[in-house]
Structure 1
Amino acid sequence: MKHALLAALLLAATGATAQTAAPETEAVKKTIETFFEGMRKGDSTLVRSTIAPGAVFHTLATRNGATQLRVENPSEFVKAVGTPHKEVWDERITFDKVLIDANLASVWTPYEFYLSSTFSHCGYNSFQLVKLAGNWKIAHVIDTRRKEKCK
């Protein structure tokens, strides 16, 4: 009987955690979706609204057979988004994993990037978000980039 009561309490506690976690997971996803919506629209204000102060952007790319870690300046990225360009920057993602602990979230998203309707490259994004003043913001993003073997 003691074991059945303990199991019931544990299941109830797990259910409560899942119910409170779902809104946070959706809020984290919304921040990332807003980031990419801003890219598609060329709206630097929208993109900037999703980025934490002091954020860091990295990309892993292969050049001449060697993998390189490149730092991308978030301010320059935001400026580029808002600078008029012919093509729509369309990064299509799916959410593979969303992990949250308190005010820290880690998100893994496979993606395909298109310039308007033309495929450019693909890879995976790894986002680190922080909850500041009640809002989820992107603190770090690192991605891989390739033209083949997507997904």
Structure 2
Amino acid sequence: MGVPAYAQSDEADVRAVIDRLFDGMRAGDSMMVSSVLHNEALMARAGSQGLRIGPTDGFVRAVGTPHDEVWDERIWDVHISIDGRLASAWMEFAFFLGDTLSHCGVNSMQLYRTDEGWKIIYLADTNRPPTCEVLGQGP
């Protein structure tokens, strides 16, 4: 028995939101990024300095602030689970500043289906030094 069509559609819609987030980062487009974030969304970073949790406002501003290098976050091995109006996505990533690998890790996102569509309500990531395997290619 296959997956119901509505579940496949929801998964594609969630993936489109995730892709739009990273397309907005690459374009330096804060409006595109904010369009996929719930107005009360939170971010968490689990790195060598411990855990930082806060609103997404600073992230959105940073994306829209001109910078010399393209912020290119490449994702793979994306796993999406959906139950009703709640979705969870887990993925590997490598973050490049221009052509230079900066760091890598895992993104974990929670999304909620609003009347306007899926919105990211929580985004967490890890931050490892650039010794990770990138898309299975090794450091």
TM-score between both structures, scaled by the size of structure 1: 0.83
Other-structure match for 1:53: 39
Which of 126, 134, 137 aligns to 1:144? It is: 126
- Within 2, Cα distance between the matches of 1:21 and 1:50? 20
Name which one, 1 or 2, has greater alpha-carbon Rg: 1
- Kindly indicate which of the two structures has a greater share of residues assigned to helix: 1
Query: Corresponding residue for 1:28?
Result: 14
Structure 2 residue identity aligned to 1:62: S
Moved over 6 A (4+): none
**What residue is the counterpart of 1:116 in the other structure?**
98
The one-letter code of the counterpart of 2:13 is: A
RMSD: 1.3
Deviation, 1:20, is: 1.9
Per the alignment, residue 82 of structure 1 pairs with: 64
Once residues 82 and 69 of structure 2 are traced to their aligned partners in structure 1, the CA distance between those partners, rounded to angstroms, is: 35
Between the aligned partners of 1:47 and 1:93, the Cα distance in structure 2 is: 16
Are the counterparts in 2 of residues 123 and 146 from structure 1 also a CA contact under 8 Å? Answer: yes
Output the amino acid matched with 1:73.
Answer: P
Q: What is the distance in 2 between the residues matched to 1:26 and 1:95?
A: 15
Q: Which runs of no fewer than 5 residues in structure 2 stay unpaired?
A: 134-139
Structure 1: give runs of 5+ residues left out of the alignment: 1-10
Normalization by structure 2: what TM-score? 0.90
